[in-house]
A and B are shown apart, each in its own frame.
Chain A
Amino acid sequence: MTATDIRASSETLLTVEAPKKAANMGQVVRWLILFLGGIVMIMPIVYMLSTSLKWPHEVYNVNLWPKEPTIENYTFVLEDGRFYGWMINSTVIALITTASNLFFDSLVGYTLCKFRFPGRYIVFIAILSTLMIPTEMLVIPWYLMSQQFGWLDSYWGIMFPGLMTAFGTFLMKQFFETVPDDFIEAARIDGLNELQIWWTVAMPLVRPALAALAIFVFLGNWTAFIWPLIVTNSVEMYTLPVGLSSFGDEADVQWELIMTGAAISTIPTLVFFLVFQRFIIRGVVMAGLKG
């Protein structure tokens, strides 16, 4: 946040009237609700961390702090060679799908938003309507398709359903509506072709939307479970969530190891989020100041 942003937000805070006694009560209730909400959100993470520090015999003990904390689980997971492979698989897949979504969703969204052509409305509705079909229903056709094409157990097989999303296309189309046509026409007069206009004029103006989309897509693919589980066979092709769930066997699920792996695997998502959230917050602040 720049200095002006901070000033702007502190000014908004100052405009809030000094609380009176009656309002105070309401405030307490509000804080309480928010606090409880916060607890609900944070508990799974706290348990994840605490379980990752427990010995196996203590896992089903609900106490927050392990009696005999250990980093043995971390040593085990990090020394187990498979973990790194899964991490690399997940990273590569999440990064490629994110880049692909940013590119194709915004390209299609832009076209649907800024060009008038026959069938435009039908195409848009067709894309939107795919949002109504749940993943669980698509998994079987995807699988059959992958099988026919020989994509099973490959990066491409894991990635192909998510290289473009209807949600992303819709999001980008809506955001491109906020880009005034004058910008595009000015660029047209300045001699840019349509692809250049999209890339150098329209895309920089929807950066906040791109950042939001990047976070959604990255997290979605990082945590995707059902499809990677179905399409992969060999342990080397597993993504992180699939790999983690394979710790243990039918008889014995090793929760402490799963939680350890999960704890480690949140680190990249945190980094990714911290990098991109800057753009989102800045976009929101800018929009607020103009209006």
Chain B
Amino acid sequence: MSTVTLRNLGKSFGKTQVLKDIDLQIEDGEFVVLVGPSGCGKSTTLRIIAGLEEATTGTVEIAGRVVNNLEPKDRDIAMVFQNYAIYPHMTVRKNIGFGLRTARMTRAEKDERIEEVARILDMTDLLARKPSQLSGGQRQRVAIGRAMVRDPAVFLFDEPLSNLDAQLRTQMRLEIKKLHQRVESTIIFVTHDQVEAMTMADRIVIMKDGVIQQVGTPSDVYHKPANTFVAGFIGAPSMNMLPGTGSSDGILLKSGVNFTGGPAGTEGRSVLLGVRPEDLTPNGAATLVEGRVTVREPLGHETLIYVDTGAGEVIAKADGRHPPAVGETIRLSALPQNVHIFDAATGQALT
């Protein structure tokens, strides 16, 4: 258990800069998820924390101690890789015990520790098997077991679930979360799946092009996105962005609708009005969106409807049982507190 602090971290491969000014304070026992599109530098950040990659600028502190010049093994961390990296030529027992090779423990203590980990992960009867005789989920569990056995201060996970099928992924997600509650270690988890991020994290770090966009609780990043990128990245389907211009009594949307409300001081500026599909409801007070339904996508408990407003398409969620028909003209409105206003030029949130 310990804190992790990244100060002014930067990384360049040759001339290409892949991380810029990463500042992040992770509390003791916190579950932090790094999320972002492919190539945004999540893995690189994790690898710098692990010591597999050297930072070009800035420092990494683990438990208050600068570790930039320490070998991975001296950093008190463990890492779980995307393709498990469990050794095919060793049994499950050997794989899990691998991290204890250099530990100062007696043989009996080591065996006891391995069995304890196997019990926690429900793998006691698999200990004698080779990885080739395991399923994908079991292999991933072995990889986690190998990380757990050393009882590290910080766990690093690099997309550990992306090789699993959807159902198994949901299950492992829950298992990792339970594991965290049990061992109470600090966890840094990398994924590009925003559902994974939302469901597991205490705090989410959203990255893009090597820059942190926002750090906050799942609720923060969902309800108060810092910019249009975060707004679009978190939540599925994405938040609708309606272009408009600030005026003295609100925002005049391109579709001709006037939205009363929004922050002061936007007069004359181009803005984007963001509203999530689930926040758009029919027959409200002030209409925000008016248009014809072009496509319906039934999902069971709800139906996605695509509405052509004349000034772009808007996605809304409608009731699963009685969705509006295709071709029907509908009016949708949103509560003022569910509407987000962004500066169109910078993308920064104004609300």
- What residues of chain A have their CB less than 8 Å away from a CB belonging to chain B? 180, 182-183, 185-192, 201, 204-205, 207
Whether A190 and B98, one on each chain, are in contact in the complex, defined by CB atoms closer than 8 angstroms, is yes
- What residues of chain B have their CB less than 8 Å away from a CB belonging to chain A? 50-52, 71-73, 77-79, 81-83, 85, 87-89, 98-99, 101-102, 146, 150
Whether B101 and A191, one on each chain, are in contact in the complex, defined by CB atoms closer than 8 angstroms, is yes
A182-B81, A190-B99 given; 18 more Cβ-contact pairs under 8 Å: A180-B83, A182-B82, A182-B85, A185-B52, A185-B79, A188-B72, A188-B73, A189-B50, A189-B73, A189-B77, A190-B98, A190-B101, A190-B150, A191-B99, A192-B101, A201-B87, A205-B87, A205-B88
Whether A186 and B81, one on each chain, are in contact in the complex, defined by CB atoms closer than 8 angstroms, is yes
A207–B89 Cα distance when bound, in Å, is 10
> How far in angstroms is the closest Cβ of chain B from A77?
44
Counting from the closest, the 3 A-B pairs by CB-CB distance are A191-B73, A182-B85, A186-B85
Known A185-B52, A186-B79; judge A192-B85 contact (CB<8 A).
Answer: no
Chain A residues lying within 8 Å of B73, measured Cβ to Cβ, are 188-192
Chain A residues lying within 8 Å of B82, measured Cβ to Cβ, are 182
Whether A192 and B50, one on each chain, are in contact in the complex, defined by CB atoms closer than 8 angstroms, is no
A207–B78 Cα distance when bound, in Å, is 28
* A interface SS class: helix
Whether A189 and B78, one on each chain, are in contact in the complex, defined by CB atoms closer than 8 angstroms, is yes
Can you list 30 A-B pairs, Cβ within 8 angstroms, ordered by A?
A182-B82, A182-B85, A183-B85, A183-B87, A185-B52, A185-B72, A185-B79, A185-B81, A185-B85, A186-B79, A186-B81, A186-B85, A187-B98, A188-B52, A188-B71, A188-B73, A189-B72, A189-B73, A190-B98, A190-B99, A190-B102, A190-B150, A191-B73, A191-B99, A191-B102, A192-B101, A204-B87, A204-B89, A205-B87, A207-B89
Chain A residues lying within 8 Å of B85, measured Cβ to Cβ, are 180, 182-183, 185-186
A192–B100 Cα distance when bound, in Å, is 10
A183–B146 Cα distance when bound, in Å, is 13
Residue of B nearest to A184 (CB): B85
Chain A residues lying within 8 Å of B79, measured Cβ to Cβ, are 185-186, 189
> How far in angstroms is the closest Cβ of chain B from A39?
41
Chain A residues lying within 8 Å of B150, measured Cβ to Cβ, are 190
A186–B99 Cα distance when bound, in Å, is 9
Residue of B nearest to A185 (CB): B52
Residue of A nearest to B53 (CB): A185
Chain B residues lying within 8 Å of A182, measured Cβ to Cβ, are 81-83, 85
Chain B residues lying within 8 Å of A185, measured Cβ to Cβ, are 50, 52, 72, 79, 81, 85
Residue of A nearest to B90 (CB): A204
* B interface SS class: loop
> How far in angstroms is the closest Cβ of chain A from B211?
25
A192–B72 Cα distance when bound, in Å, is 10
Whether B102 and A192, one on each chain, are in contact in the complex, defined by CB atoms closer than 8 angstroms, is yes
A131–B58 Cα distance when bound, in Å, is 47
> How far in angstroms is the closest Cβ of chain B from A107?
19
Chain A residues lying within 8 Å of B146, measured Cβ to Cβ, are 186, 190
> How far in angstroms is the closest Cβ of chain A from B136?
14
A240–B50 Cα distance when bound, in Å, is 56
A204–B90 Cα distance when bound, in Å, is 10
A187–B78 Cα distance when bound, in Å, is 10
> How far in angstroms is the closest Cβ of chain A from B264?
53
A187–B71 Cα distance when bound, in Å, is 12
Chain A residues lying within 8 Å of B88, measured Cβ to Cβ, are 205
> How far in angstroms is the closest Cβ of chain A from B101?
7
A189–B49 Cα distance when bound, in Å, is 11
A183–B150 Cα distance when bound, in Å, is 17
Determine which residue in A180, A182, A183, A207 has the highest number of CB atoms from chain B within 10 A of its CB, and name it. Answer: A182
> How far in angstroms is the closest Cβ of chain A from B190?
14
> How far in angstroms is the closest Cβ of chain B from A242?
41
> How far in angstroms is the closest Cβ of chain A from B81?
5
A186–B52 Cα distance when bound, in Å, is 10
> How far in angstroms is the closest Cβ of chain A from B98?
6
A189–B146 Cα distance when bound, in Å, is 11
Residue of A nearest to B83 (CB): A182
A204–B130 Cα distance when bound, in Å, is 14
Residue of A nearest to B84 (CB): A182
Chain A residues lying within 8 Å of B89, measured Cβ to Cβ, are 204-205, 207
Residue of B nearest to A188 (CB): B72
Chain A residues lying within 8 Å of B87, measured Cβ to Cβ, are 183, 201, 204-205
A189–B89 Cα distance when bound, in Å, is 19
> How far in angstroms is the closest Cβ of chain A from B77?
7
A186–B71 Cα distance when bound, in Å, is 13
Residue of B nearest to A204 (CB): B89
Chain B residues lying within 8 Å of A201, measured Cβ to Cβ, are 87
Residue of B nearest to A182 (CB): B85
> How far in angstroms is the closest Cβ of chain B from A286?
8
Chain B residues lying within 8 Å of A180, measured Cβ to Cβ, are 83, 85
Chain A residues lying within 8 Å of B72, measured Cβ to Cβ, are 185, 188-189
Determine which residue in A180, A183, A187, A191 has the highest number of CB atoms from chain B within 10 A of its CB, and name it. Answer: A191
A117–B328 Cα distance when bound, in Å, is 67
Chain A residues lying within 8 Å of B51, measured Cβ to Cβ, are 189
A201–B78 Cα distance when bound, in Å, is 18
Determine which residue in B50, B78, B89, B150 has the highest number of CB atoms from chain A within 10 A of its CB, and name it. Answer: B89
> How far in angstroms is the closest Cβ of chain A from B71?
8
A280–B320 Cα distance when bound, in Å, is 60
A166–B190 Cα distance when bound, in Å, is 42
A190–B74 Cα distance when bound, in Å, is 10
A189–B52 Cα distance when bound, in Å, is 8
> How far in angstroms is the closest Cβ of chain A from B72?
5
Chain B residues lying within 8 Å of A183, measured Cβ to Cβ, are 85, 87
Chain B residues lying within 8 Å of A190, measured Cβ to Cβ, are 73, 98-99, 101-102, 146, 150
Chain B residues lying within 8 Å of A205, measured Cβ to Cβ, are 87-89
A185–B51 Cα distance when bound, in Å, is 10
> How far in angstroms is the closest Cβ of chain A from B147?
9
